[in-house]
Every structure is written in structure tokens, then in C-alpha cells.
Structure 1
Amino acid sequence: MSGPFDALRTRLHEAAAAFADGPGALEGILLGMVDDVDHAMREPMEIFPVCHHSPASAVAMARRLREKQPKVVYLELCEDMAPLLTELRNCRLPVAVQAFASEVEGFPAEWAPLSVVAPITEASAEYQAIAYALDTPGVELVLVDRSADHVFQWQQPETTPTDEDALHGDAIGVEIGDLRPRFAELEEHLLHHGKVRHWSEWWHQYVELPLGDSDHDTYRQVMFLIGSLFRRLAPGDPQRVRVDEDRERHMWTRMREHLAATGTDPADCLYVCGAFHAASRVAEFGVRGTDGFEISPRSASKWQYGLIPSSHAAIEAQFGLAAGSVSIAATEWAKNQRRTKVKPFQLAGQAGGRKAKKPVPPPAPVPEVAAMDQLSGFLRRPPVLDSLDEAELLGWSVEIVRAARRNGYLASTADAIAVFETSILLAGMRDRARPTPYDFQDAAITCIEKDVVPGRRDVGRLVEIMMGGDRIGQVGYDALPPLARDVHDRLAPLNLKLQQRGVQRALLDIAAHPELEPCSDLLWMLRYLMPHGAARPIMGERRLGERPIQESWDLAIGTHQRSLIELGYEGVSIEQVLEQRLRRAAYDPQATTARVLEAVEDATRYLHSPRLGGELGTHALEVLARERTVDGAPEVLRRVRRLLAYYRTSEPTLPSWIESFVRTGYAHYCTLLPMAFTEEDATVDQVAAMLGFLVSMESLALSLGCDRTQLELAVAQSHPEEPSKVALLWAAQVQLGRLSRAELRARCDDLLGNPLALPSYPRYLNGFVHALEPAPGLVDFVVEAMSNAFARLPDPLLLPWLPILITTLRSRGAQLVPLLIREAGRVFPGRLATLDEWVPPWHAQPELAPARAATGKGAALLAAHPATCDAMARLLGCAGSWQVAPAGAALLEEYPDTVMALEDLLAT
């Protein structure tokens, strides 16, 4: 039986024999492509193949919708996104339809959160189909592609794709009409022989421009042919092939289900899908296909849906397109409308669109005719040079010179002429009938940029801006989730245009306008939850127990609209989302005690919630009991001190959880202290923080039932070897009264007098500096020890130690530096003239007399003032009379036990 493509098959058979030295694999591919086109054209339901963000597809779609006026439009888009499409009226394109799941069930936990986006631009065929279906009475729009949940169900765990860009983030992109070839060698071959740099330029030159003026049958057959080519030459990845075929089975199954349920005639339907899927060979293809495909149920994950702002740059990054290609497509879309006089469809009330005109009666439907072979003529037709393109190129050349001047380039009229001629030259060298925007961009860079970029933008970027720039969409207020609308309503007293992109300054004089305090509370929560820059405080801070007086903020909420919308997927209010985030952080299996205490502090500071603070504080107690390391001791100490200071000043009594925390922490750190002193992994800062907790919390811990013996035993069992920890232990012994200052000073003098100990002396000083955490009363001794070190240590030891000292003081500056500076200011002379005569206080102290001399002086003092002695005795409850103290042999006879002990001591 003869068909419309028999002549084309004959020519391709001859071409295969000529180029491949006989029929073979090449002939099979070429003839198979024609069979695919014939197969798709014979389908009773009209298949409309498209390429995403293709102006030619958009023009062909608008033209065909007005001709055919289908009653049902089947669209290749996630079926669960259908309810969102009506909200496109409240947005300014481009935007992306998003499915988002933060609570993941049935998928690996490391995938969370799950996100799927489908960008929509004005220059896209699917937007034309959506606008037609939603604004035409009696027309039904049915989404037939797999759901967002199935996108992840059908994805291999180790191959889950994620892309980073400014607006779409970690999301899997769903693109209608993905026609980029997956066969790397094919793409390289096309780029090389097409004399283009990237795939976007190849598509623009060899598909977009030729199809811009083609009729409906030619458009469909060419798109079927291209889709078949890429499908047959795609790499044989079984996983990718299975997913592609399952998507096609899913879509045809959904369409037949809808046809059976509604009784719609397939001739009144239009199936819009990517050209890659249009000529499918699965058994379920077509309205007469088999019904053997079973669609699995969705997982238990909770999916949220909404619209997020998108941009040309975000779409290019999401789908690997060349920079500026989507902007060039938007320019071509406007150009095609003027040239073809095709009136596009647009949703009524579309934000950012043209004002709606009076409805024009639709043209009478064109009767259907049998499809003829249009491929042969299209493939043999040479490109035609349009004279209008030269005028357009001249306008581009003048405009890029003007833009270059504004950005600091020394461009002139001669450069405009050079760009014009070079564009034509490049197009000729690349076998093109007319220069494309990409040829013009190369010419502009060659003729204007030279080797210097005087401003922030290079010429390539200037060309992209001139071609339309990075257009950024916006989601309207009515299309925002309840949380985002609530944020806008609560910030209304600031009188700012929060929907507007860019940075705006907000000034809050809360002392004069107390009604602005709720705005301040909300801004601090937004600062915590949203990315950096969305809400940035310039003046003012939020501390525990303090009330705001005046604040200044830089707000860019419109710029970060996507982040605000995704907060709406997590809850109905900003407070609910913040509480969920704090709980999630505190109950994370990897959360440390310091991290849980941070959540307690944030709950108190931002939410003013004693209930949540108490719950998280109780959990912090459990986490502390499980910890077996001291890594977080410094942070734990700082946060517990802040919380204690807050509760003591703002609450009548301490919460029960913090009393339990202090009691448990005292016993916990006493247990770990000996091990921390000897372990190499425990730093001196961490050990000092443990001692700081034990010493500073001691009075409270003892009042709660702890025993000071625990600390004394822990210090007695500590036997460090590292010099800085040894110094820290000495400081702890002084704090506990187990070591006198005189003995500590003597040990330091011994170290300075021992040549073998001198190299390690700076490390002892490092320990003394850290000892100010548990024993701030030793600050005078630390100043003395550091002064002696500067005076007596040789330069080869002193100079390498100075950077360590500086970094130590810098890391602990808020606690240690003020103490040292205050003590140094008290000890050292205030004037340079008195420095030569200045004697350090520790050198001016009198030498300690022998014990016997001290005893003698004390007895003489008492004898000289008997009345004072009697008064003190009566006060202390002592009774007795004055006696003459024995001396010499009489004294020894009176105390024989002491004599025997002295003899034993001397004998040893």
C-alpha cells in the first residue's frame, strides 16, 4: 500500500547506498525515521510535537489552536500540578510551577526536601495551550504526565539529578519538549558541521528560523523527524530508556481513560508533548493502544504546590542551555508575531501582559485534509535572505555601540560599521544565509571588547541585555501561599513595596511607634529562616531579655520571593515554621548539646515561648547525658551563662530544666575532667571551658544538692603532661585552695630558671591565659607571668610564641582581653617618664620570713596589745588566761611528739 512518504523513502535509500557503500545500519535509521513520522501522522488523535521555549513552536501552536479549536487539550505536564495553572493570571511570567515535599516518606532521607519545577514563559507552546484552554468556554485542559511523586519513584537513588541556580535551587526540572540530543557524539557532530558553538545556536539556526514561516503539516513532520532522530541515536541507558517509555505509557493510559470516561471524540482533542515522545513505539501508543500499564500509587510524602518566580537565566541553568538563549527566544517570539500576524493567546488579567482587547470572533475551523509529504520540500528548500534582517542588524550594531559607551568602552561609529560587516562575514564563513544573534555577539566581542573590560559587564553580557536581558518573573499576591500573604500583611505598616525586587531600607523607631514592634519580631524571624540578604539588620540587635528601641533594615523580600513561598509549604504561619525548624535542629540525631541550647536560645529570643524553650531544654539535658566528648564545652558554657543571666533577671524562679541541666552538667563534667586533661584530642580551650562551667556554676550546683567533693576528686585525679594543661591544673588548684599563690609563683620561677624547661614555658603561659575562664581572679598573676616572660625569655623562644598569644586572645577576646587590659592599666605606669623608676609590684613585695620569725612576731604583737587579744577571744568564745610561753629545752619537753617527728624528717 502506497503512502505519502514513499518518494522520501526512495531518496533516503539511495542516499544511504551512496554515502554508506550500500544499505545497512544507516538506511535502517533513515527509513525508520520516516516510518516514525508516518506512524505519528496516522494517529487519529492529533499529536502536536513541541520544543520548550521555542518561538516557532509557540507560533505554530497559536495558529493551530485558532484553526482546530479543540475541545480537549492533553498536555505533557505533571498531572498533580493542574490546580495551579489558573493562578498564572496573578503572575508576571516567567514563573515556574513547583511541587515541594519537606516531609519525605518512601524515599531516601538524604533526598529531602523534594522539589520539581516546570518553568513557563510567554514564548512557549504550552503557555499558548494553557491560555487557550483556560480562557475558552467549553475547553478542558488535562495534564497527563507522571506526578511529581512518580518523578522520584522512577529515579535511581545514585543518579538523582540536582542543579544549583539562583531561583530554582535543588529541583528536578520538568521540561516540555526536551529535544537536546543525549548522544554526545551526535551533538559534537552537529555542532562541528553546523559551525556553531553550542546546541542552542544550532537549534536557532537550523530549526527555529526555517520553521518560523512553515505551515502546520510541515512543522509537525519536521518535529516528528527530529524527535525520531534523537530517539534512535540516544545512548542505550536502560534506566533512561525505561523512564522515557514509562512516561509515554503513562500519558497514553491517562488519555484513553479520559476519552472513555467523557466519550470525547479523539478528532476534537489535541495532544501536546515533546517531539522526543511524539513518535513513540510503545504498545500503549495511540487511542487504539493496549491497556496493560499499571500506574503505581503515590508515596506517603506530603506534597505542597505553588508558583515560584523564574527567570531566563534560571531556565538556562536548569536545563543546560547557553547563556542568553532564552532571551533571544523571547526576542524571536516578538519578531515572529509581527511577521506572521499570528495573534497569541494570553490569560485574561495576566500580570505584566498587554491590556485585553475586545474579543475577536474566532475564524471558521479549517476542514481537515489528508497529510501530504512536506518533508521533501522542506529539506531541499534553500534559506531565503530577508531584507528586513539587514535593517535589524544595523539597528543592533548601533545599539550595542551605544550600550558599550555607557559601560566605559571607547566605541565609535566606526565600531558599529565594523560589527555590522563582521557579522555578515562570520555568517558567510559559517555557511549561513543571514547573521544570527550569535554571529552578532561574536562580532561585537571581536570589534569592541578588545582585551580590556572597563566596567562590570563585558560585551557578551551587553548583547544578552540588549536582546531582552534576564527577565525575572513575579508571583502575584493572590497566588501566594497563606504564609507569604500573612508576611506581607504584617509588614504593611512599614509602607514598603515588598513585591518589588531590589533592596529597600526600613526604619523602625519603636520607642516612638510601639505598633512597629511586631514588625521587628517578624523581621528577626525572617532573618533566621530566609537566605542571607532577604532581611539584613543595619542597626539593632536581638538579645535575650532586651526590647528593641530603634532598628534599621535592608529588605529584599521581593528578590527572595521563592524562599518565602517555600516557607509557605512548611506551615501556615512564620511562627509555626520557625518552631518546626527549631525542633528539627534540636532533635536531629547528630545534634550536640550546644546546638540544642542554641535552639533553646532562639526559641526564647524569637518566639518568646517558655513552653518550647522548656521542651528543648529538657532534650538538651538528655543529649548532654549521652555525650562522651568535650568538643562542645566552650559553646555550652557560653550559652548556659546567657540563659542563666536571662532567667535570673526576667523570671521569678529558674525553670526546672536549667536547674537539672546545671546539676547534671556538674556531675557530667566532673566525670570527664580527668580524661580530658590527659587526652590529646581535648584542647586546652575545651578543658578550660569545663573548669569554667564547674567553677562558675558551683554555688548553684551545691544549692541543688551537688557535692564539692566531686570537683576536688576530679582535680586530684587529673595528671596532665601537656604544659598548657599543667598550667590550667595549677590554676584550678589555686581556685580550690589546694595551692597557694606563693607556691604557684615559685613553680613559675623554677621553670624560668631551668634551661631545659624554657622552650615549653610559652605553652605554660598559654594555659594560664585560658585559666582566666575558670579563675578570673588570677588575672594579676597572669599579667605578672607574661611580664616575666617578656623580660626573661630569649627572642628565639619569645617571637614564635607571640602569634600563638595573639590568636588566643583574638579567639577569646570578649572574655579575656578586657580583664588583662584592665589589670595591666592598674599595674603599669600611666606615663612614660615614670617607667624608668617603676618597680613591678611583684618585685616590691617583701620576702616571706621564716615560720619561726613569723611566729615570734605574732606572739610579740599579741603581747603588745593584750586588750585586743582578750576581746577577740571573748568574741570567739575562748576561755583562758595569759601564760608565759616556754622557750628552748622547756618547749621541746612540753611537745615531745613534735620533736620525734622532726627527728624522723631529718633522718630521711
Structure 2
Amino acid sequence: MTATPVTSTAPADPGTSSGPFAALRQQLTDAAATFAGSADALGGILAGIVDDVDRALGEPLEIFPVCHHSPASALAMVRRLRVKQPRVIYLELCEDLQPLLTELRNCRLPVAVQAFASELDGFPAQWAPLSVVAPITEASAEYQAIAYALGTLGVELVLVDRSTDHVFQWQPRDDGDAAPDGTPDGATDDALHGDAVGVEIGDLRPRFAELEAYLLHHGKVRHWSEWWDQYVEQPLVDADHDTYRQVMVLIGSLFRRLRPADANRLDRDEDRERYMWTRIRQHLATSGADPADCLYVCGAFHAASRVEQFGLAADAPDFEITARTATRWRYGLIPSSHSAIEAQFGLAPGSVSVAAATWTKAVAGRRVTPYRLDGRAGKASGRGAGRRGATAGPAPGEVVTDRLSGFLAAPPAPGALDEAELRGWCVDIVRLARRNGYLASTADAIAVFETSVLLAGLRGRARPTPYDFADAAVTCIEKDVVPGRRDVRRLCEILLGGDRVGQVGYDALPPLARDVLDRLAPLGLDLEKRTVQRALLDLHAQPHLAPCSDLLWMLRHLLPGDAARPIMGERGLGHRSVQESWDLALGRHQRALIELGYEGVTVEQVLEQRLRRAVRAPDATASVALAAVEDALRLLGSPRLVDELGARAVELLTAERTADDAPEVLRRIRRLLAHHRTTGPLPHWCAAFVRAGYAHYCTLLPTAVADEQTGVRQVGAMLGFLFGMEGLALSLGCDRSQLELAVAQAHPEAPAKVALLWAARHQLGLLPLARLREHCVELLANPLVVPAFPQYLSGFVQALEPVPGLAPFVVELMSTAFARLPDPLLLPWLPTLITALREHGSELVPLLVREAGRTFPGSLPALDRFVPPWQSPARPGTPAPGATPGGAAPAAGPLVALLAAHPDPVDAVATLLGCADAWAAPGQGEAGRGGEASAALVALLAAYPEPAVATAALLEGAPAPAPRPGR
């Protein structure tokens, strides 16, 4: 980074050998030659700074240079307004913000003037929404000028800076139309200002990093705000008008000439200056105002402008102002705060609070009556607001004299130590520290007092500043940092004024915000307060509060999380709570409520527009559309809107090319179908969604199964949709063969997807449970497959979504794996199993736990005798030990006779067992249907003797025998 002197096509400077600053110019040139060995570069810069001062002060239109939120600038402005009493004030502020300034009388400062646009026309869509804010505090010169102009009859206020539309027109678009970064004027992430671009008057800060570091080092300060307060703010508080103007232009010219060679930033700064001078000339030409009765308020950086349009006598043509885009801008006032201003413009924490304290002290000590907009009176308050003053400052037209030489050469006036003020700070900070848990005492107050004086002396200050006091308090009180406590530096900020937060009055709110406050009035709360308030709604005893409940749920959806937070009660599909409890902080989130007013007239209109925009967005998906449908049902209850959003959901589903959204689609459509089935006939869009989804997922299934990028969870959700909605889809005209064909065409390679496809084939009847069990036994018997077995289990767990009847089999499979695998194999893949289940089936694991709870015994004694249902001593068809091939188990004779007497159930069971052709018992011949049980049935009874014995005992009237040991 290098500093580059400003080049210009402006006319030559006034004579360098004459004029009020000739002596100062020669003195600086000689000093440059002495210290630098040559007067070429350094001498040119120093002489150019003097020329800038001479040029700015010689302009017929009086230029009043200011610094943003500077008490010295505000005091100088008040003094000058009372002396000059200008009839026209040209103010460096976006020209389209002027209609809002009259609403400042209904606000409590600090507030910010805002321009907001959510629907863009002429800007990249990625930039939306666009927002520009200009914060205003009482300790600022711009507010004093505004209050004077709006409160004094016959005074015209003209904003001459570029419009908010041009702010973004001049943004560079070289980064793929990325969102604007706010570099022209600063941006913030503060909650009150959001990500708005900030516009300020008087951006006085070195844009050359090495220069700022040099000033901070030799000034013995830590940040720029402290340097400015010590070396500029305090010396200029009591300066006369000429001295103030010359010093401010000098600083602006210095920072302007020593800045990095940033072409984009330089072009924007100069274009702003050309824009403002063009607007000033146009207004003077149309209004016929006398420049001697006008005042041009701008930042000191722009007061030292070198553009060719500078001044009323410039021969350069007017700057060509481009037309605004078709973007529709909305305007309003939003609350601001000291911390928001500091974050937005890169100021040190607490610096605006220190400036506010300095302003209050200066106004009280110097008997200056500032201008204020009184909302009740409708005019600016302050003595002498309507008459010309007779003191402080030169008369208009007076010859400019050199005040810079004396100001730069004279040492700073020694300020007496205000022991009473410093003593009060020390006592108050100890009191605050004790309230916040610090072990502070009177000794600490004394230590803070002495340390403040010591630090001021070490830093070359005649009296301690608030920054010295804060450093001393941190040193003496904050001996240890405890989490959860406010740090001592923050306590010092609170002591010196705190983070003052402004408020926009009711009359200055947009119609939507006023409508919200009016509709919530039955709650009996003062919702303009910044505190959190509790609202209790008994909708059964107070049915008139139902509209308030509806509005609160809509605000819950539109505003930040804690603006309207439900403590008790919920609003679901088809469900409304009878009693509700809310924590409301609408006053704290006034900015968000105001910005809702930029989008519509009522909350219902804004919500409807947002739902439509959500489903029409370029990144909208079917799940987003279904969520919008659900919100419309819960919050608005508009069938027309629901049908529109549902139709859009069908379009988005059929347009999807991946299954990434399938789990969310399945979850939401199930909930919506359950709601509509209980409230009335199925809407047309729901039927269309099921039909489209069935066909869409059948088509997508083979590709998704083979795609490595598609997870098992997504495939499981697709199958869950196909099997879960199958009955409804078939009733709506879908073809089941399409699903069978899709499953047949699917050829997965991943173990989890293989297991998932096996479950799908089983659900379709293509893979019996016995064959599925054999597949799993083969997997466990193969040592090469065992390390991947957790992936198979993960697939079976996902299969519980489309085939919940597999839960007993999955429990059996997992238990079999734990029983058969040896520890050297089991322990290595156990962490993989847990990870797979957590990643892919966390919500399905409870289903397995419930099934395991039904399968396994609940006590230790029963566990000793427990035999899993999937284990048996012999398979059907294999005689049990002690049983003859032709006979039944002992004590089963009455049961066999009973089965022979009722052969129809036996025929059905035998058919299921695959042995319906053998009915005669061995040794009995071919007796037909009246013979003994078949060999297969006898073998089955022999394999499971306990039921037969128990049944026979019941038939004979005898108690059932105890089970045999081990079974």
C-alpha cells in the first residue's frame, strides 16, 4: 500500500506568494526542505494542504466541514447557526431521504433514517434485500442543522448527496455480482442496523494504514477514537469559527492527500463531490437564493475536494447524473444505538457514549442552547432560534485571516484537573462493580483516582480523559475475569452514558407497525417498552383475545426469535391451544417490525407475500413448498393460497432430479395428509402430489440406488413414500407394476442399499422371510463381509421406514450377530455400527428399542429361561428327541383326536406348511380325511411339545405341567 498524491484537473490554486496563508505555506515548504532534504514531494503535499484550506475558505458559498458524531462539530454548528441564520442549508445526505426528516420530532434519538428495497429491478438478484441507513444523534452537527432548518420559519433544507439508488449503482460488480460489502461508507452486523450500508457525514479517519499507526504510536493511544478526542475534539471545543473551519479542512486535506491508490474508492468519492456541487448549482439556479445566505454542510474530507466542479465559479460542466433504476425503495426510521453506530463505522467501543457525555458536559458548562425537534410543539427548541445573534463568530463576508499558524504553533492549553468529576467517576465505578460481583472497595476508588492521574501524565495529558479513567478502572478493579460478569470496561461505558438506544415514536411508524400495536392493545401491555413483557391469554374465558393470538403466531413466524416467544401453547395443523403464554419484546425489535411495514400494509399481506416468494425462489424445493402450505394452513387458513402453494409443490417435485429432499418431503406430506383426512375431503393438490410423487420416485429409484452421492436415508425415504402412499396412489389411478419394475431395475452396490432393496423385495412378496434370513446368515458366515455388516444393519434400520413390519427381523438379526461373532471380530466393528445408526437412523432406533423390549424378558430370572422366538431345538419336519416317526409327543393324543375331528383348520395349516397332500398317519393306511394327523403335523407338534401338552391338559381338565428345564 502506497500513498498517492491526489491529481486534479481543477484550475490552479490561488497565488502561492500572497493571500492569508502565504506565510504558513512558505514556513511548511522550508520545513520540508530542511527535514527531507528536498521540497519536491513533502513540500508539495504540505503546500497543497494549505492551498486546499485557502481554496475552501475562499468559496462564496460558506462550506462548514464536520466530523461524524463530533461534539466539537455540533457546538461549532450551533454557534454558527445562531450568528449566520442561513436561509438555505445544503446537507450531505442522500437526497431521497429528505421527506423522512420531519418525522424526527416523533423519535427519541439516536435513530437511523433508512431506505429499504426487497424487490430489485436493475440490480443483481443476489444483492436483495438492499438497505441504507444514516444514523443521527443529538451530538452531531447534521442533527443541529436539521433541527434548525425544520424548526425555523423560512429556512429550506436541501439534501444534495447521491440517492440511495445511486449508492448501489456505483457499487463495483466485478465479483460475479456478489452482494455489496458496504465499502463506500461502512457496513455493520449489529442487530439494530443489520447488514445495511451506512451513510455518514464527515468520515474523518486516515485511509492510509501506516499513517494511522504512526499517529497512534506517537500519540500514545490505542485506537483512533481516542486520538481524535485528545488531539482534535478537546482543542476545538472552545475554538472560534474560523479556527474550527481551517483546522477541519486541514485535517480533511491531509487524509485526502495521504491515502492508498484505490481507484474505485477514489472515483466514488470524487463522483459524490461532483454530484453534490451539481445539485447545489441546480438549486441556486432554480431558487435564486443568495449564496451569502446559504450554508453547505459536508464532511471535512469533501470540503478539501479538488474536483473540477468544486465551487460556484467553476467552469466545468455539471456532472451527468444517471437515472434511477426501477427498484421500488421504501423509507422509514429505525431505532439505533451507540453500539450500532460504533460497529457500523469502525469506531472504538464506547466512543459514541464518550462523545455523548462530552456533548452534555459542554452544553451545560458553556451555556449553549442546542437545537432540538420538539414533537409536541412541532418546532425546534432553543433560545434565539428565530433571531440573529450578536456574538461568537465573524460576520458574513468578513475577510478570512490565518488562524492555522497560531493554532499549530501554540501548545495545548493546560486544562485544570476536575477533581470533583473524576472523584464522582471513581465512586460510581466502584458501586457498579460491587453490584456486578466484583470485590471492590473504597481503596479501589482511591487507586482508580490516582492511576487515572498517573496515566494521563504518562501520556502527556493535562487531565485524565474517559479513556484514561477506563484503563485505570480495569487495572485496579478487574483483578480477575469471571465468566458471566460484565467486564469493567463495559461498566465504564455504562457509567459514562451507556449504550443509549433510540426509539421511533408511534406517529412515525409505518401503517403496519401501528396496526400491530393497535391490534395487540387488548392485551393491556405497553409494547413500545424495550423490556420483555409476559402476556397471558385464556382463550376459553376471554374469546375476544383470539385475534391477538392469531397475530402473535404470525409475528412469531415473521420476526426474530425472541420478539414474540411462546412459553405455553402451540399452533399446529388442526390444533389451537386454549391457554397461551407469551414473552413479548416488540419494543426491543422495533427495527424488524418497521421493516415489515416496508413490505406491506398488514401482517397477513406480508406473510402471504413471503410464502409466495419462498415457493417461487430459484432455490425452492418441494419440501419448502410443503412447509409453506403448512404455514398457510396454520397461520392464515386461506384455501385459495393453500391450493396455489400446493400446486407449486407438485411442480417442484416433478422438476427435481435428485432424492436429496425425499426425507423432508415424506415427513411433511404425511402430516398434511393426516390433517386433511381428519378435516374433510382430500384437496385436489394433495391427490396430484401423491400421484406425481409415486410416478416420480418410481422413475428416480433405479438411478438413486446406483448413485454414490445419494445416501441410504434418501433411498429409504423414497421407498417410504412409495410403500406408505401405495394404497392412496393405487386408488388414484397409479400402477403397481411401475413400482415392481423400478425395484427390479435397481442394482445397488453399497451394502446399506443392498439391504434396503432386500427389504423392498420382501415387502413386494418377491423375497420370503426365510430366504432373507438365509442371506443374512451367509453374510455372517463370510469373514470378508463381516467388517461391512454394520452397513447392512444400517440399511435394514432404514428399511423400517418403508417396511415397519421388519422390526422383529432386525432385532433378530442384530441379536444373532452379537451371539455368533467372536469378540475379535465383534469389537472392531461395534463403533462402526453405532456411528452408522447415529448417522442414518437415529429416529428409527427407538422403534428397535420398543421391539426389543417386547421380545426380551424384563427380569433376570426370566432371562435365564429365555429362548429367543427365532431359535428352536429342531426345525419343522425334524422329529424331536424321543418322538417316533409315526406318533405324536406324549400327552398329545387328545389334541390329535381333536384335530382329526375338525380337519378344515388342519387343511389350512398343512397348506401353509406345503404338505397338504399327505394326510394319513403312518401305519393307518390311506384313511382319507378322517385319519390321524399327517406326518408333517406330527413332526411339528413333536418340535414344539409345550403348546400341545398345555392344550391337552386343558382339554382333560388337569393343570398344565411345568416346562422342561432349559426351554
Superposition TM-score, scaled by structure 2 size: 0.85
- The separation in 1 between residues aligned to 2:489 and 2:671, in whole angstroms, is 54
- The separation in 1 between residues aligned to 2:117 and 2:579, in whole angstroms, is 39
- Pick closer, same or farther for the CA change 1:94–1:350 going to 2, 3 Å: farther
Contact (CA 8 Å) 2:83, 2:388: kept in 1 or not?
Answer: yes
Q: Does 1:331 align with 2:357?
A: yes
Contact (CA 8 Å) 1:349, 1:356: kept in 2 or not?
Answer: no
- The separation in 2 between residues aligned to 1:341 and 1:354, in whole angstroms, is 21
- The separation in 2 between residues aligned to 1:562 and 1:11, in whole angstroms, is 53
- The separation in 2 between residues aligned to 1:609 and 1:796, in whole angstroms, is 62
**1:302 alignment partner, SS class:** coil
**1:512 alignment partner, SS class:** coil
- The separation in 1 between residues aligned to 2:527 and 2:831, in whole angstroms, is 48
The residue number in structure 1 matching 2:172 is 156
The residue number in structure 2 matching 1:230 is 255
The answer to which of 85-94 and 554-563 deviates more is 554-563
Letter in 2 for 1:101: A
Contact (CA 8 Å) 2:899, 2:906: kept in 1 or not?
Answer: no
- The separation in 2 between residues aligned to 1:697 and 1:456, in whole angstroms, is 56
In the alignment, which of 321, 337, 359 is matched to residue 295 of structure 1?
321
Q: Does 1:406 align with 2:427?
A: no
Q: Does 1:255 align with 2:280?
A: yes
Task: Give the Å deviation of 1:825.
Answer: 3.3
- The separation in 2 between residues aligned to 1:806 and 1:861, in whole angstroms, is 53
- Pick closer, same or farther for the CA change 1:743–1:384 going to 2, 3 Å: same
The residue number in structure 2 matching 1:177 is 202
Contact (CA 8 Å) 1:327, 1:464: kept in 2 or not?
Answer: yes
The residue number in structure 2 matching 1:81 is 97
The residue number in structure 1 matching 2:70 is 54
Superposed counterparts of 1:678-697, under 5 Å: 678-697=706-725
The residue number in structure 2 matching 1:896 is none
Contact (CA 8 Å) 1:862, 1:869: kept in 2 or not?
Answer: no
Contact (CA 8 Å) 1:72, 1:139: kept in 2 or not?
Answer: yes
- Structure 1 residues 390-446: Cα deviation after superposition (integer angstroms, max 9, x where no partner): 332222222222222222223233322222222222222222222221122222222
- Structure 1 residues 276-295: Cα deviation after superposition (integer angstroms, max 9, x where no partner): 11132222222223443111
Q: Does 1:144 align with 2:160?
A: yes
In the alignment, which of 206, 218, 226 is matched to residue 201 of structure 1?
226
- The separation in 1 between residues aligned to 2:484 and 2:837, in whole angstroms, is 42
Contact (CA 8 Å) 1:670, 1:714: kept in 2 or not?
Answer: yes
Task: Give the Å deviation of 1:316.
Answer: 0.6
- Structure 1 residues 823-877: Cα deviation after superposition (integer angstroms, max 9, x where no partner): 33333223332221122222259733389x99x99xx9999569969999xxxxx
Q: Does 1:629 align with 2:650?
A: no
- The separation in 2 between residues aligned to 1:869 and 1:114, in whole angstroms, is 78
Contact (CA 8 Å) 2:152, 2:380: kept in 1 or not?
Answer: no
Contact (CA 8 Å) 1:762, 1:798: kept in 2 or not?
Answer: no
Task: Give the Å deviation of 1:389.
Answer: 2.5
The residue number in structure 1 matching 2:291 is 266
Task: Give the Å deviation of 1:180.
Answer: 0.8
Task: Give the Å deviation of 1:65.
Answer: 0.7
The answer to which of 587-596 and 354-363 deviates more is 354-363
The residue number in structure 1 matching 2:738 is 710
Contact (CA 8 Å) 1:598, 1:639: kept in 2 or not?
Answer: yes
Q: Does 1:345 align with 2:371?
A: yes
Letter in 2 for 1:279: A
- Pick closer, same or farther for the CA change 1:560–1:866 going to 2, 3 Å: closer
- The separation in 1 between residues aligned to 2:353 and 2:727, in whole angstroms, is 69
**1:245 alignment partner, SS class:** helix
Letter in 1 for 2:632: A
**1:48 alignment partner, SS class:** strand
- Pick closer, same or farther for the CA change 1:560–1:590 going to 2, 3 Å: same
- Pick closer, same or farther for the CA change 1:870–1:563 going to 2, 3 Å: closer
- Structure 1 residues 8-42: Cα deviation after superposition (integer angstroms, max 9, x where no partner): 22322332232223422222222222221111111
The answer to which of 204-213 and 250-259 deviates more is 250-259
Contact (CA 8 Å) 1:677, 1:687: kept in 2 or not?
Answer: yes
- The separation in 2 between residues aligned to 1:863 and 1:201, in whole angstroms, is 103
The residue number in structure 1 matching 2:936 is none
Q: Does 1:776 align with 2:797?
A: no
Task: Give the Å deviation of 1:513.
Answer: 2.1
Task: Give the Å deviation of 1:263.
Answer: 1.3
Contact (CA 8 Å) 2:372, 2:380: kept in 1 or not?
Answer: no
**2:871 alignment partner, SS class:** helix
- The separation in 1 between residues aligned to 2:206 and 2:382, in whole angstroms, is 41
Letter in 2 for 1:34: V
- The separation in 2 between residues aligned to 1:262 and 1:620, in whole angstroms, is 58
Task: Give the Å deviation of 1:584.
Answer: 1.8
Equivalent pairs: percent with the same residue?
69
- The separation in 1 between residues aligned to 2:213 and 2:181, in whole angstroms, is 25
Contact (CA 8 Å) 1:407, 1:455: kept in 2 or not?
Answer: no
The residue number in structure 2 matching 1:112 is 128
The residue number in structure 2 matching 1:734 is 762
- Structure 1 residues 464-483: Cα deviation after superposition (integer angstroms, max 9, x where no partner): 11111111111111111111
Task: Give the Å deviation of 1:766.
Answer: 2.1
Letter in 2 for 1:503: V
- Pick closer, same or farther for the CA change 1:778–1:122 going to 2, 3 Å: same
The residue number in structure 2 matching 1:878 is none
Q: Does 1:720 align with 2:741?
A: no
The residue number in structure 2 matching 1:880 is none
- The separation in 1 between residues aligned to 2:39 and 2:899, in whole angstroms, is 131
The residue number in structure 2 matching 1:615 is 644
- Pick closer, same or farther for the CA change 1:113–1:443 going to 2, 3 Å: same
**2:160 alignment partner, SS class:** strand
The residue number in structure 2 matching 1:132 is 148
- The separation in 1 between residues aligned to 2:290 and 2:920, in whole angstroms, is 131
> Unaligned 5+ residue runs, structure 1?
873-882, 891-908
- The separation in 2 between residues aligned to 1:869 and 1:86, in whole angstroms, is 93
- The separation in 2 between residues aligned to 1:870 and 1:841, in whole angstroms, is 23
The residue number in structure 2 matching 1:44 is 60
In the alignment, which of 683, 695, 701 is matched to residue 655 of structure 1?
683
Give RMSD over aligned pairs: 3.2
Contact (CA 8 Å) 1:91, 1:350: kept in 2 or not?
Answer: no
Q: Does 1:281 align with 2:297?
A: no
Contact (CA 8 Å) 2:794, 2:837: kept in 1 or not?
Answer: no
How many matched pairs?
876
- The separation in 2 between residues aligned to 1:657 and 1:480, in whole angstroms, is 40
Q: Does 1:677 align with 2:698?
A: no
- Pick closer, same or farther for the CA change 1:33–1:710 going to 2, 3 Å: same
In the alignment, which of 164, 167, 172 is matched to residue 192 of structure 2?
167
Task: Give the Å deviation of 1:457.
Answer: 1.5
Contact (CA 8 Å) 1:696, 1:774: kept in 2 or not?
Answer: yes
The residue number in structure 2 matching 1:212 is 237
The residue number in structure 2 matching 1:496 is 525
The residue number in structure 1 matching 2:413 is 384
Counting helix residues as a fraction of each chain, which structure ranks higher? Answer: 1
- Pick closer, same or farther for the CA change 1:674–1:849 going to 2, 3 Å: farther
- Structure 1 residues 53-102: Cα deviation after superposition (integer angstroms, max 9, x where no partner): 10011011111111111111111100000000011111110000011111
The answer to which of 381-390 and 266-275 deviates more is 381-390
The residue number in structure 2 matching 1:21 is 37
Letter in 2 for 1:90: N
- The separation in 1 between residues aligned to 2:470 and 2:877, in whole angstroms, is 93
- Pick closer, same or farther for the CA change 1:387–1:864 going to 2, 3 Å: closer
The answer to which of 261-270 and 776-785 deviates more is 776-785
> Unaligned 5+ residue runs, structure 2?
1-14, 889-895, 909-918, 927-967
The answer to which of 486-495 and 446-455 deviates more is 446-455
In the alignment, which of 315, 330, 337 is matched to residue 304 of structure 1?
330
Contact (CA 8 Å) 1:408, 1:454: kept in 2 or not?
Answer: no
**1:347 alignment partner, SS class:** strand
In the alignment, which of 80, 83, 86 is matched to residue 64 of structure 1?
80
Superposed counterparts of 1:252-651, under 5 Å: 252-290=277-315, 291-349=317-375, 362-364=387-389, 367-368=395-396, 369-387=398-416, 389-453=418-482, 456-651=485-680
- Pick closer, same or farther for the CA change 1:868–1:331 going to 2, 3 Å: closer
Contact (CA 8 Å) 1:517, 1:548: kept in 2 or not?
Answer: no
**1:385 alignment partner, SS class:** coil
